[in-house]
A and B are shown apart, each in its own frame.
Chain A
C-alpha cells in the first residue's frame, strides 16, 4: 500500500529518529510512504490562538496536495494528525468554509474536495494484514521487557470520526507492544496529557504534569515508555533532568517511539533506527533483549 506521508516539522529536527524509524519499519512491512511534495506546517496549537480559519487553511493545503497525488495522508505526529483530521471533517461538512478556503488555495493551484482520508501512522500499522506480516517478521521477541504505552491526547481526542472507538480505554498500543513480544504495563495515566506546548509557555505547570506521568509509569515498573508523538517524547524525555532538580526525583527512564520498538523486534539494527539519539538512551536496556545488536 502507498500512502501520502506527512512527516511534520518536528520530524525534520528534534524527532528525526521518529522519521527515520517510521520510514525503515514501514519499508520492512511492505508499506510505501511517499512524502507529500512541498507540505507545510500543520499550524500546531498556536495558529488556533490567532485565527481558526487560517489554521484550517494550513491543513487544507496539505490535504489538497495529497488529493492531487491521489494518496491518503499518514501523519506520525499526533498533533499534525489531529489538526488535519479535524480540518478534513470541518471542510467536508461546511460548504461555505470549503468555498472560502478553496478560493485561497487557488493561489497555489490547489483544491480541497475531501477525497482523501487522514490516518495516524499507528492506524496503518494496526491494519490486519500489516499486523500479520509484523508477527511473521519478528526475530527479536522482547520477552520480559516492561513497556509503558503512552497515548497522550491528540491521537485519541477530540472524537472526530471516531465513533465506536474506545477513546477512554484504548488498547491499540498494548496490542502493538504485544507483537514485539514485550509486556505492556497497565497504569492509570496512559491517556493523560504531557502538557504539550505548555512546557514552554507555562513551564511549571507542564513540569508537574510530566512529573505525574513519569511517577505513575515508573511506579508500575516500566523499563521504557513508548510514544506516538514527538511532543510527548520531548516533554517526557528531555525534561527529566529539570524535573529531578525541581521535584528531587531520580527519573532516568528512556522514552522512545513505537516505530523504534517494533524495528528492534523486527531485527533492524538499533543504529539504523536512530536509537541513541535520545538524551536518555534506551540502548543499554534493549541490548539485553536483542540477540544481535
Chain B
C-alpha cells in the first residue's frame, strides 16, 4: 500500500525546475513576511504559509488569499537567508489550486491566468481587451465604470489595440506548445 505524500512533498513536486532549498530548511525568521509589500492584505503571511505547509494544513493553505495577493516581486526570494525560492513556491501553490479547482471563491487570478494562457496559445501574443471578461464584472458597477473610463482614455491615446496580433508561424508555434503539454490547442 503506497503512502500518501505529505502536502509539503506535494508542493515540492510542483517545483520541477525552479528548485532552491527545500521548504523544510525554513527557520521561521520572518524575513519573507517583513519584506512582502502585500503582507498586510494577506490572511496568512508568507512565513505562516510555510509553517502551515509543514504542518500539513492543506485546506488552510489552499483556501487562503495569501497566494492571490502575491505579486511575484521576489523580495522574499532574494532575501531568504535559507535560499528557499518562496516566490516559486507561491507559483507552485497557484498551479496546485488551479489544477484542483481549490481556490477561495471570488478570486480572479485563476480565471485570468487560464484566459491569458488560452489567448497566447491561440495567437502567440497577449491581448489585454480579450482578458476583460475575466474581471470586468467582478468589481461591481463602479469597477465597470472605472475600467470603461480608462479604456476610452487609452483608446483616445491610441494605446489600445482593436484587434489581437498573431505570430506569423502560428501553426508551428502551436505544435511547439503541444509537444510540451496538450492544453487547449484549437487547430
Given A40-B167, A49-B113, A242-B146 in contact, is the A54-B177 Cβ separation under 8 Å?
yes
**Nearest CB in chain A to that of B119: its residue:** A41
Query: CB within 8 A of A9: which of B108, B109, B125, B181?
Result: B125
Given A12-B161, A104-B179 in contact, is the A52-B91 Cβ separation under 8 Å?
yes
- Over the window 27-67 of chain A, the binary record of Cβ atoms lying under 8 Å from chain B Cβ atoms (1 yes, 0 no) is 00000000000111101111111111110111001000000
Cβ of B180 within 8 Å of any chain A Cβ, yes or no, is: yes
Residues of A within 8 A of B38 (CB): 193, 195, 198, 205, 209
Cβ of B44 within 8 Å of any chain A Cβ, yes or no, is: no
Q: Is the CB of A13 within 8 A of B160?
A: yes
Cβ of B17 within 8 Å of any chain A Cβ, yes or no, is: yes
Cβ of A157 within 8 Å of any chain B Cβ, yes or no, is: yes
Query: CB within 8 A of A39: which of B131, B157, B167?
Result: B167
- Over the window 242-261 of chain A, the binary record of Cβ atoms lying under 8 Å from chain B Cβ atoms (1 yes, 0 no) is 10000000000000000000
Cβ of A26 within 8 Å of any chain B Cβ, yes or no, is: no
Within 8 A of B (CB), among A206-248: 206, 208-209, 238-239, 241-242
Within 8 A of A (CB), among B172-187: 172-173, 175-181, 183
Cβ of B154 within 8 Å of any chain A Cβ, yes or no, is: yes
Quote the shortest CB–CB distance from A239 to chain B (angstroms): 8
Residues of A within 8 A of B157 (CB): 277-279
Residues of B within 8 A of A277 (CB): 157-159
Query: CB within 8 A of B175: which of A107, A198, A238?
Result: A107
What is the interface of chain A mostly: helix, strand, loop, or mixed?
Answer: helix
Residues of A within 8 A of B161 (CB): 12-13
Q: Is the CB of B176 within 8 A of A196?
A: no
Total contacting residues, chain A, CB less than 8 A: 65
Residues of A within 8 A of B183 (CB): 50-51, 54
Cβ of A287 within 8 Å of any chain B Cβ, yes or no, is: no
Quote the shortest CB–CB distance from B125 to chain A (angstroms): 5
- Over the window 128-160 of chain B, the binary record of Cβ atoms lying under 8 Å from chain A Cβ atoms (1 yes, 0 no) is 100100010001000100100110011001111
Cβ of A97 within 8 Å of any chain B Cβ, yes or no, is: yes
Residues of A within 8 A of B179 (CB): 103-104, 107
Q: Which of B114, B116, B146 is the most central at the interface, judged by chain A CB atoms within 10 Å of its CB?
A: B116
Size band of the interface chain B makes with A:
35 or more
Q: Which of A54, A158, A192 is the most central at the interface, judged by chain B CB atoms within 10 Å of its CB?
A: A158
Query: CB within 8 A of B177: which of A49, A104, A157, A193?
Result: A104
- Per the bound structure, the CA–CA distance linking A53 and B149 in Å amounts to 38
Cβ of A108 within 8 Å of any chain B Cβ, yes or no, is: yes
Residues of A within 8 A of B158 (CB): 16, 277
Top 10 A-B pairs ranked by shortest CB distance? A157-B74, A193-B73, A46-B116, A104-B179, A49-B113, A107-B175, A108-B172, A153-B73, A40-B124, A46-B113
Known: A43-B120, A53-B16, A205-B69. 18 other contacts (CB 8 A): A46-B117, A51-B180, A52-B18, A53-B181, A104-B179, A107-B175, A108-B169, A153-B74, A157-B75, A157-B77, A157-B78, A196-B72, A197-B71, A200-B131, A201-B109, A203-B143, A209-B37, A242-B146
B-to-A contact residues, CB < 8 Å: 15-18, 37-38, 41, 68-69, 71-75, 77-78, 85, 87, 91, 94-95, 98, 107-110, 112-114, 116-117, 120, 124-128, 131, 135, 139, 143, 146, 149-150, 153-154, 157-161, 165, 167-169, 172-173, 175-181, 183
A-to-B contact residues, CB < 8 Å: 9, 12-16, 38-41, 43-54, 56-58, 61, 90, 94, 97, 100-101, 103-105, 107-109, 153-154, 157-159, 167, 192-193, 195-198, 200-206, 208-209, 238-239, 241-242, 277-279
